[in-house]
Amino acid sequence: MKQIEVYIGLGSNMGDRASNLQDAINIIKNIIGIQVKAVSSIYLTEPWGNKNQDDFYNQVIMIETHLSARALLRELQKIEINMGRQRTENWGPRIIDLDILLYGDEIVDFPELKIPHPYAQQRLFVLIPLEEINSEIVFPDSGMGIREVLIRALGREDEKTINKVD
C-alpha cells in the first residue's frame, strides 16, 4: 500500500498541556498503519478566535500512513474524545485538538474534512512548527512554499506572540 506523508497539528490549553500533546503522540504511534516520522518543538501561543482562554501549547508532527484521509480523521477524533475533549464552543478551550493540516499533495473537500486545513496558511502556530520539520513543503491549493506563506503570515500577525517552549 502506498504511504502518504501527512502533517497533523496538535494543540492543548487545558491541564498539563505538554503531557496532553505527548499522550496524543504516543496514542498516534500505536495506531496500526501509522508511523510518526518527525515531531516539532512545542510552541506557546495566544488563543486564536476566542481570546478569553489560556494560551495554547502547539506542535506539528509528520506521519506516514496508508489510511485514507477520512479514516485518519476518525482515528484522530477518537483520540480527542478518549482524552476528554468536548466540543461545546467554537475555538474554545480544549484538552487536545488534532487537525490534519496536509495529506500528501491532495486537496480534500468533504463537509467534515477540508485539506489543506482551511486556516493553516494563516496561523503562525501551524506554519512555524511545520517549517521546522520540513522547510520544503508546498501547499497544494495555493502552490506556495512554506517560507513564502510564513513570511506573508508574519506580515499579518505582528501582534501575535509565539515562543518555543522546549
For the annotated catalytic residues, the residue numbers are: 85, 94, 97, 99
Identify the residue whose cell numbers are 500505536: 30
Measured CA to CA in angstroms, residue 75 lies from 4, 46, 78, 92 at distances of: 16, 27, 5, 21
Strand segments (E) across the chain: 4-12, 34-39, 43-45, 56-65, 97-103, 108-110, 113-115, 162-164
Q: Radius of gyration of the chain from Cα atoms?
A: 15
Tell me the torsion sign for CA atoms 33, 38, 43, 48.
negative
Task: Name the grid cell of 108.
Answer: 480534500
Cβ neighbours for 79, distance < 8 A, ≥ 6 positions apart: 24, 27, 28, 96, 98
